[in-house]
Structure 1
């Protein structure tokens, strides 16, 4: 800087003395920078940035005056002044010099009193006179009023009329042409333009004086303005407004898209977050045993996660944490606190959690259930006492003195590492301040560093973290190496606060351009030019990381937690596989539906590939829980349905499915609210959400995704989200009304969608009915069903105008299985007219009911369980009374009538039997056999007991009679296989008719068991006497449901009632099959063997406590 511009305050004698007494001699007498300005501000109880602005106003004004006077040729002597107009006697000059030096003793201008006209002497006198011009101008500057205590001219003016003197000076020369103003006018101009605002005065000087100012002074002025903005910025907690992305504009939009392709499993990932310590504590409570390591996580939990549709598990807080962070949390009031999950000591699995071996064991078990593990990496910062802080303290952003002199680091030493002291600023302990740095003291060298805390510039520094300096190549390389090492251990990596390391935002936060306000307080003082920043940080760190992972660990899914409208940039330009989409949560919660539909539309029109790379969520770990934001009612399940069905990666929060409301702090070791899982809430997920998660292969991609407008009489209802996805034949249509008001409208036209070949070229899409693949035939009807199991029949003509729907407030509908239907016999037309727009649970059933109504009635009447119950009781008493005889006669006649009714229409039967069904003979034999059983030894007597039942167990007589009637019908119709006959009955809907005839749950179980007996009748060997066949029978899906198979506390159980009924029914069937074969007296009775097996099975079931795995092992 030229000597003309001196970067120090002009201080009057009294102010200089007070500063020296306050221990600020160095500040008072030396050059002033932001640190010195803040020290003076602390002494004056004012703003450091404002003091710095005033100091720079002083520098610029004094410098301009010192530049101006030599240019007009003024050469002051001791008693006269030389100028272009000649020599003018001014005897008061020497008095003025002396008065100035006495009033402002800090200025090194003693040469002014030297005799003669040496160059250095003239320059000193010119500088002194320049200060007089400056003081005169400053006295009329309202914005400088608060600084009069430092340099006001009252003492000088009492000794000397210096203003009349400078008027004489000014009259000695014409104004400089380059300025067009006299020196007094020039110096007063900034205050005249902006009398009460120092920032505006400095801005004026930058704009108008820059040609005569050194660039360093201009840069400092720009920084001072930025520091002032920085100090005055409000840092408010809580979420701000929901910003809208601008596709095709901004960062990287002119570059070609550079997405990273998914490997096969990535597209359908569904992520569940678990805060590890809290989860282990909850598991311990649930299972009533100590579960403290990763290896202890029960198998049942992994089975449950997989069954629910989760295939990725994010373990939050598994790394070694900072002991300093833990101590901070505990000293601040929570004696149970752990360190923050994001203040890390090192990237090793915490030994408390079982270390690396426990992780490997858990990972192996998770893989068996199709679950991959996810973890966090936080390259932005470490804990304040991390291994890196110890080994490479120079890798962190730091200064050699506190950025604000008021900072006090007299609190406790938080470091357990030998030779190092770590202290956070005192204001954190009493909640009076939030310092941006902490103190690092090397006891061996004595060096003090003030290292910046991690900070995203939005609210508060993270006071247990240390910010890494990514301008250093060695830091970037070390973090890249770390990420690669983690990628070789985990399938998914979530990068916390990833946007803070994008070059744009790293610069904004820490190294703004001169005049650019920093995101982090005090960092405007560390401004860098564009050239210097680019030289230090030339390439996006994240792009380098992604490219390296793609080369060396390509099967790792990378997730960026990024906000600030960086979502598109992170996947399209930087190549992350997935990026957080906070708009999903925020806009749907606030019901900013128009804005979110616009995001979907704009994304589709620009590049749909972005949409499939969003991570959608209803809460983030540091947000309020999902039920706190969305409730537990229809709105929650509507948004959760969108979460499960939109393209991208769905992420569920810890406790979201269970309905927990507590927001867990990152330092929590346990939950503090006593919450139990909401069983009804979970069941609602099981019915509505989990089935969708298992169908993510149809929802996750964007190739078949279409978004629709919901048209009402008033136009588009922006509150309704309607979209379809999936290939033809597997289409799903999702509709949700995210508003409390009901609505009615049509889904017809799809939003434009960009061509895969040309970004930004939005092409019109086919109408709704074509998108669903319903235009491939001329069939007059189509059908589809919703997630609740209801089916709807619509005409092709209806669809051509769009699908009309009525939606209540927060109602959602999910439709699938779109099929066109031919109607050769007119049955669909009849059903269409009959339903008149109503939905039903089974359209095929309803159609068959209309077409075969007489058969349905006849078949249902045959199996009237009230009548069969009377018959079963009569047979066991072995008395053919009048009522029983009448029932047998009626049943025989009705069976023969049914055979006549259905026989002629059956295709594929093996010939019509000419014999008539006579149930009397069969039932007479059966009655005698039951009488023998009742009189037999105990083991065979069990079979009779199974027929009759007990108070706690329904008898099986009705079930056996139903099966026997089916067997006789099968034989009469010419079927050798009764199970094949029952399948044919199903083609007429008679299975539906039979199920509907069951008036209670017990009757329904009897129908199921009778149907099962049609299948077991032909099994060889028969399951009644063969253990492997019976074991296989116990494991079928429908059979398991009949047995009441369930999982509880890592074990599989069944119900006693179900096993007794199943085992008893097949034992009775085995005996009856032998009875009907006529072999009962020629071979050892199967009844005895079947009864013995029945006894053993029921005893074994009780012995193993009705645990299925043990029961089958023993079988």
Structure 2
């Protein structure tokens, strides 16, 4: 299967999805039972990857913590006022075994689902959680040395970060899983990457997962980096990712690794073998509405940008429709999904959902679809699906120029050029501000001089004829209102 240079990924919360499909069908629906029309629609929208979130088994002990934690209960009830205990299935990242949950159909159902995706040209991504396990993972009994050990003093001083665990080797004090900036997660235990045997065991787990999918999204991947582990736990492990990724690729040459990554560690993780890393920096700058900072971020080399996963929301972030007011939401989406890299969409985003569903729940609230948001994403996905230039072409940042002396609004623009080998050309321009603005764009395309060029906005209704020489110098004149944009396809006027 040949993947485009800039693929699209769609994240699905599997337990929430199948629960809804089951209620609509009036009977249990497993992964093997998802109807053809649903899968056909995923392919029709132009996705290349389906990431099934939370397919692995969650243990009873961690689920009990989810059902009993008062702070979590308050969050759950804010999402589901009619919450029941059955709605709380435990965090999909508190994994007791890398075995497909029987409620989802088990391993056989996942294999059927994957084969049906492949028939439609879609690849399957699953989770790997390197940092921690559920409280009742078998290793907690048989291999407590795989976990970070605590002491009576540590437990007394930091009860939020340690707990007592009964093991086959006697009672131990073990650390809860955590990152260095927050208290521990009380439904998970921290793995010890300073133990070489643990690293070997985790590589074996990855090998098992890799037999069942085409790629993995690695939760909090930076926590296993030696420097981060040292800062968190005071011990320095040997690097894990380079050898683990190499081992999987030896058996599955085209296997893909996506890292959840923060703290500006994306480049380091890319160098250790990850195909893609979350681009949280772009997301944050879009939320802060700083066009200059966004342009600076997009000025990085394509060796870095091509391997970033661009998103406006995911299961950890607030819903885009709740934090990006309309029409700013549209402007942010144009900047994000028409930049180079992996285009990362989230279940519910395309319909304008506003409520983020916690990872511990199997049910989402019922929300009305937003027709304007759905129509926008339908058009954006159609543009991505039908244009070789936007999926496979050469991208460059266009520096906006002042439209006239003394007009500073050019600084509010973000603009790109796309060009494919077959001659397809696009110009993307966004006024990422809350006021009217003007600029000029000197287009970086050869062969425009002495031509009359038609500019057709594939995300709107505008059509313009322009002299090709003028598009080169002084450049295409742009005048856009607050948060407005154009995605122009350029064609010879006579074509």
Once the two structures are superposed, the pairs formed by residues 259-270 of structure 1 within 5 Å of their partners are 264-265=2-3, 267-270=5-8
Whether contact under 8 Å (1:597, 1:718) holds in the other structure is no
Task: Answer whether contact 2:282 2:297 (CA < 8 A) is retained.
Answer: no
Q: Decide whether the 8 Å contact of 2:403 with 2:477 is kept in 1.
A: no
CA distance in 2, matches of 1:649, 1:639: 16
Q: 2:351 aligns with which of 658, 670, 675?
A: 658
Equivalent residue number for residue 320 of structure 1: 57
Partner of 2:367, secondary structure, is coil
Aligned residues: 476
Aligned residues of 2:410 and 2:438 also touching (Cα < 8 A):
no
State the secondary structure of the residue aligned to 1:785: strand
1:331 deviates by 2.1
Q: CA deviation at 1:690?
A: 1.4
Deviations 1:282-312 (A, max 9, x none): 2234x44224311122221111111112221
> How far did residue 268 of structure 1 move?
3.6
Q: Corresponding residue for 2:489?
A: 816
- Once the two structures are superposed, residues 1060-1092 of structure 1 have per-residue CA deviations (whole angstroms, 9 ceiling, x without a partner) of xxxxxxxxxxxxxxxxxxxxxxxxxxxxxxxxx
Which residue among 168, 172, 180 is the counterpart of 1:457? Answer: 180
- Over the residues paired in the alignment, what is the CA RMSD in angstroms? 2.1
Is 2:376 aligned against 1:678? no
Contact 2:384 / 2:391 at 8 angstroms: preserved in 1?
Answer: no
Q: Please, which of 4, 14, 18 is the counterpart of residue 276 of structure 1?
A: 14
Q: Aligned partners of 2:388, 2:205: CA distance in 1, in Å?
A: 32
Change (3 A) 1:697 1:476: farther
Equivalent position to 1:343, from 94, 97, 104 = 94
Contact 2:3 2:48 in 1 (8 A): no
Judging by fraction of residues, say which structure has more helix. Answer: 1
CA 1:500–1:697 in 2, change beyond 3 Å: closer, same or farther?
Answer: farther
Residue matched to 1:575: 273
Q: Cα distance, 1:716 vs. partner? A: 6.8
Query: In structure 2, what is the Cα distance between the partners aligned to 1:680 and 1:288?
Result: 28
Match of 2:468 in 1: 796
Correspondence 1:913-928 to 2 at 5 A: none
How far 1:586 sits from its partner (Å)?
A: 1.4
Q: CA deviation at 1:774?
A: 3.3
User: Cα deviation per residue 1:550-573 (whole Å; 9 max; x = unaligned)?
Assistant: 3221111110111111011111x2
Distance of 1:438 and 1:270 partners within structure 2: 41
Matches within 5 A, 1:112-151: none
**Correspondences of 1:551-700 after superposition (within 5 Å):** 551-571=250-270, 573-601=271-299, 603-604=300-301, 608-631=302-325, 633-671=326-364, 673-686=365-378, 688-695=379-386, 697-700=388-391
- Could you say which residue in structure 1 is the equivalent of 2:78? none
Instruction: Find the aligned partners of 2:60 and 2:298 in 1 and give their Cα distance.
Output: 44
- Work out whether residues 413 and 439 of structure 2, in 8 Å CA contact, stay in contact via their aligned partners in 1: no
Residue 437 (structure 1) aligns with = 162
Q: CA deviation at 1:701?
A: 5.6
Contact 1:268 1:696 (8 Å CA) reproduced? no
Going from structure 1 to structure 2, the CA distance change for 1:742 and 1:387 (only over 3 Å counts) comes to same
Residue 138 (structure 2) pairs with residue 466 (structure 1) = no
Deviation of 1:710 after TM superposition, in Å, equals: 4.1
- Cα distance change on mapping 1:266 and 1:778 into 2, 3 Å: closer
- Judged with a 3 Å threshold, the aligned counterparts in structure 2 of structure 1 residues 291 and 791 are, in CA distance, closer, same or farther, namely farther
2:115 counterpart of 1:364 = yes
What is the DSSP-based 3-state SS (H/G/I as helix, E as strand, rest coil) of the residue aligned with 1:661?
coil
Q: 1:544 to 1:368 in 2, by over 3 A?
A: same
Gaps of 5+ in 1: 1-262, 408-424, 426-434, 512-527, 749-767, 822-843, 845-1115
Separation in 2, partners of 1:778, 1:484: 58
Whether the aligned pair in 2 keeps the contact of 1:400 and 1:448 (CA below 8 Å) is: no
- In the aligned structure 1, how far is the partner of 2:143 from the partner of 2:393? 46
Would the aligned equivalents of 1:644 and 1:696 in 2 still touch at CA under 8 Å? no
Shift of 1:281: 2.3
Distance in 2 of aligned mates of 1:659 and 1:469: 41
1:291 and 1:297 in contact (8 A); partners too = no
Q: 2:43 — aligned with what?
A: 306
1:479 aligns with 2:170: no
In 1, the alpha carbon distance for the partners of 2:190 and 2:401 equals 49
Q: How far did 1:313 drift?
A: 1.0
Distance 1:556 1:317 in 2: 20
In structure 2, what is the equivalent of residue 708 of structure 1? 399
- Aligned twin of 1:783: 454
CA contact (8 A) 1:384 1:466 kept: yes
Per-residue CA deviations over 1:90-109 (Å, capped at 9, x if unaligned) read: xxxxxxxxxxxxxxxxxxxx
SS of residue in 1 equivalent to 2:186: coil
Contact 1:645 1:696 in 2 (8 A): no
Q: Tell me, in whole angstroms, the C-alpha distance in 2 between the residues paired with 1:576 and 1:439.
A: 36
Measured against aligned partners, the alpha-carbon deviations of 1:520-571 in whole angstroms (never above 9, x if no partner) come to xxxxxxxx6xxxx4xxx34x21111222233221111110111111011111
The secondary structure found in structure 1 opposite 2:400 is strand
Structure with greater proportional strand content: 2
Structure 1 distance, partners of 2:199, 2:157, is 33
Max Rg structure: 1
Q: Structure 2: where are the runs of 5+ without partners?
A: 74-83
Cα 1:280/1:677, change in 2 over 3 Å: farther
Residue number in structure 2 paired with 1:421: none
SS of the equivalent of 2:416 reads strand
Q: Equivalents in 2 of 1:363, 1:610: separation in Å?
A: 30
The 5 A counterparts of 1:1037-1076 are: none
Counterpart contact for 1:272–1:654, Cα < 8 Å = yes
Separation (CA, whole Å) in 2 of partners of 1:702 and 1:307: 21
Pair 696,570 (structure 1): closer, same or farther in 2 beyond 3 Å: farther
* Residues 721/455 of structure 1: CA separation in 2 closer, same or farther (3 Å cut): same
Report the CA distance between 1:349 and its aligned residue. 0.4
Q: Is contact 1:733–1:814 with CA below 8 Å preserved after alignment? A: yes
Superposed, 1:519-530 pairs within 5 Å as: none
5 Å-filtered alignment, 1:1002-1017, equals none
Note if contact 2:311-2:337 (Cα within 8 Å) is conserved in structure 1. Answer: no
Question: In structure 2, how many angstroms separate the alpha carbons of the residues matched to 1:561 and 1:400?
Answer: 31
Task: State the Cα distance separating 1:347 from its structure 2 match.
Answer: 0.3
Instruction: Work out which of the residue numbers 108, 124, 128 in structure 2 matches 1:373.
Output: 124
